[in-house]
């Protein structure tokens, strides 16, 4: 099973290049501490994708929920509509404030990718960096780096090698058939590879593992999310400052600019 391609018909956006050391209008966004995020914060606020709080703060370190991330993504890319005209498939989001955003992004044929085993999407779940990497890659198929210019799929071994050599803590496992394999349909479990013929050649543990591997590989190649000192921190909660920076990088790439 391959991820259904979601066509992003992007509106033209003019990216404002805010100096990294510019003083933010928010009282809690220190120009030095958040130099890496001030440009993205200012751009997203100016674009109407995110707002500050009435007290003049932005709360850059506040964790982001799935609903909040979906809302920002949908506001940034309003032409994405994967099923807002259909009955919402997730019972726990039908009366949620972000129901329309959730429907537009996640209500298509691949809705199972984003739900738990009970079919709930958990809109108020605070997202980890692993969650955001998966969601961003699945939603933004233009970032897909698992196919080369000639249309050939990057080998499983190359993807495993790239992920493992880039980050020490990204949840990928190399196993043999003698090991107990985790359920590859759990998209928040490790990506699992195994040596099918015991000859050193790796294959994926099912379609789920392949989708997860290709997603994190694409995020690495696009440099949408970077780690520090070889650590991705997959279990760390994503903050508002990080979320707008990630989305700004995606927007820049899709507009044909260089990642910044």
The 10s digit of each residue's pLDDT in 165-203 is 999 888 777 776 555 555 555 555 667 777 777 777 788
pLDDT of residue 13: 29
Average pLDDT per block of 10 residues along the chain, 260 residues long: 34 31 78 94 95 96 97 94 89 95 92 86 95 92 89 89 90 67 56 74 79 91 90 94 96 72
Residue whose entry in the numeric block shows the structure tokens 């190359």: 158
Q: State the chain's mean pLDDT as an integer.
A: 83
Q: What is the reported pLDDT for 177?
A: 59
> Got the DSSP string for the chain?
--PPP----PPP-------TTPPPSSTT--TTTTTTTHHHHHHHHHTTS----TTS---TTSBPBHHHHHHHHHHHSTT--SSTTS--S-GGGTTSTTHHHHHHHH-STTGGGGS-TTS---TTPBPBHHHHHHHHHHH-GGG--SB-TTSPBPPHHHHHHHHHHH-SSS-EEEE-TTS----TT-TTSPEEEEESSSSS-EEESHHHHHHHHHHHHHHHHHTSS--BTTB--TTSBPBHHHHHHHHHHHHHHHTT----
Are 194 and 205 in contact, with CB atoms under 8 Å apart? yes
pLDDT digits (tens, 9 = 90+) for 33-61: 999 999 999 999 999 999 999 999 999 99
Two tokens, residue 116? 């738990």
The pLDDT assigned to 12 comes to 26
172-175 vs 202-204, strand pairing mode: unpaired
The residue behind tokens 């961003």 is 136
By CB atoms closer than 10 A (0-12, 13-18, 19+), residue 225 is buried
Judge if pTM exceeds 0.85.
no
């Amino acid at each position: 099973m391959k991820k259904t391609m979601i066509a992003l018909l992007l509106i033209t956006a003019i990216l404002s290049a805010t100096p990294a050391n510019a003083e933010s209008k928010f009282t809690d966004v220190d120009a030095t501490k958040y130099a890496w995020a001030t440009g993205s914060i200012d751009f997203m606020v100016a674009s109407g994708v995110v707002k500050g709080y009435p007290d003049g703060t932005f709360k850059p370190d506040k964790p982001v929920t799935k609903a909040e991330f979906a809302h920002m993504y949908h506001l940034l890319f309003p032409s994405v509509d994967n099923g807002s005209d259909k009955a919402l498939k997730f019972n726990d989001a039908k009366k949620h404030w972000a129901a329309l955003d959730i429907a537009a992004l996640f209500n298509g044929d691949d809705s199972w990718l984003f739900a738990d085993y009970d079919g709930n999407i958990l809109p108020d779940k605070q997202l980890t960096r692993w969650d955001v990497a998966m969601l961003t890659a699945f939603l933004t198929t233009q970032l897909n780096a698992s196919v080369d210019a000639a249309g050939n799929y990057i080998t499983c071994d190359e993807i495993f090698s790239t992920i493992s050599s880039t980050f020490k803590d990204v949840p990928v496992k190399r196993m043999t058939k003698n090991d107990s394999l985790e359920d590859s349909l759990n998209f928040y479990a490790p990506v699992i590879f195994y040596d099918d013929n015991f000859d050193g050649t790796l294959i994926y543990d099912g379609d789920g593992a392949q989708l997860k591997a290709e997603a994190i590989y694409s995020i690495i190649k696009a440099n949408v999310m970077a780690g520090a000192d070889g650590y991705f921190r997959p279990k760390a909660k994503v903050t508002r400052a990080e979320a707008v920076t990630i989305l700004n990088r995606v927007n820049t790439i899709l507009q044909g600019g260089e990642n910044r």
